[in-house]
Amino acid sequence: MTGHQPSTPVVCSFSNPEELIESLAHFILKAQKESIQKKGRFTVAVSGGSLPEQLNGLIGKDGVKWDKWQVFYADERIVPLDHEDSNHALCTTQLWSKVPIPQENIHTIDPALIDAASVEPASDAEDALEEIADAYEQELIREFANKDSARFPIFDLILLGVGPDGHTCSLFPGHPLLSEDDRWVAYITDSPKPPPRRLTLTFPVLNHASRVAFVASGAGKVDTLHTVLDKPEEGLPASRVRPISPGQVYWFVDDAAAAKIEYPKTPFKL
């Protein structure tokens, strides 16, 4: 049965956020190198929230082949791409505007569909939301299906954050979307964290990736990490990210966030 087993998390804890950021940058560079050697490109999904700032270690770093990156969003909010709530806007401010990545390598939701998907009430926007999710799935299919011919896309790297309630991407505790096993991209209209309308990659996509790296830092995440890593039986969304072998899930955390974790930590090495 090897090849179809869920991986067990590898947890690396760093004494401070700076060390975490530098080590994460080296980890990403290694993943980039292996991916480009194998396939000539590096497919990455990026989250919003606190994650983009943790990618600062890549800015100005030698060896980053930005022209080989193909970037998608792990989740996105249904707001204009320059809106303060947009994950694309956040990533642009924190990272893309500071590095030489070609614009066409960053795959956003279709801006032409955002107005129709934003009408009130949400029930009148369902068709447009379906369309915007379908369009993003098609964007993924164009990138992956012809090249990798797999049932689900196999991202080289998915970079995730975890919210205080254990959500990741826009997969929230107790939401029916946690059972989605077919779609690559889905929409929600009832996110408990604003804004309510969002697109998200689904669990099958997360769990087919070659590598998923969660990043969490600061004492504010301490109880969440304890539950997610030590009590997976509670089924919080972040606990359910277990890419099938040979895929692997990593946790990059700092000691403040990891203070209550009983789960064994692994020394970081490349």
Residues that bind ligand LXAUTJHC (CB under 6 A): 47-51, 74-75, 87, 160-161, 163, 168, 170, 193
Q: Which amino acid appears at position 9 of this protein?
A: P
**Least distance (Å) from ligand LXAUTJHC to the CB of residue 34?**
25
Nearer to ligand LXAUTJHC, 9 or 48 (CB): 48
**Least distance (Å) from ligand LXAUTJHC to the CB of residue 154?**
21
Nearer to ligand LXAUTJHC, 12 or 74 (CB): 74
**Least distance (Å) from ligand LXAUTJHC to the CB of residue 38?**
27
Torsion of CA 167, 170, 174, 176, to 10 degrees: -160
225 within 8 A of 257, measured Cβ to Cβ? yes
Q: What angle do CA 120, 126, 132 make, to 5 degrees?
A: 105
**Least distance (Å) from ligand LXAUTJHC to the CB of residue 193?**
5
Whose tokens are 């000691």? That residue is 255
**Least distance (Å) from ligand LXAUTJHC to the CB of residue 12?**
18
* CB-closest chain residue to ligand LXAUTJHC: 49
**Least distance (Å) from ligand LXAUTJHC to the CB of residue 161?**
3
Nearer to ligand LXAUTJHC, 40 or 194 (CB): 194
The candidate with the shortest Cα–Cα distance to 175, out of 126, 225, 223, 235, is 235
Cα distance between residue 260 and residue 226, in whole Å: 6
Tell me the three state secondary structure of residue 139: helix
Q: What element of type H or E holds 13?
A: strand 10-14
Render 143-193 in DSSP notation, one character per residue: HHHHHH--SS---SEEEE---TTS-BTTB-TT-GGGG--S-SEEEES--SS
Nearer to ligand LXAUTJHC, 49 or 57 (CB): 49
Nearer to ligand LXAUTJHC, 41 or 43 (CB): 43
Nearer to ligand LXAUTJHC, 75 or 156 (CB): 75
C-alpha distance across the termini of the chain, in Å? 28
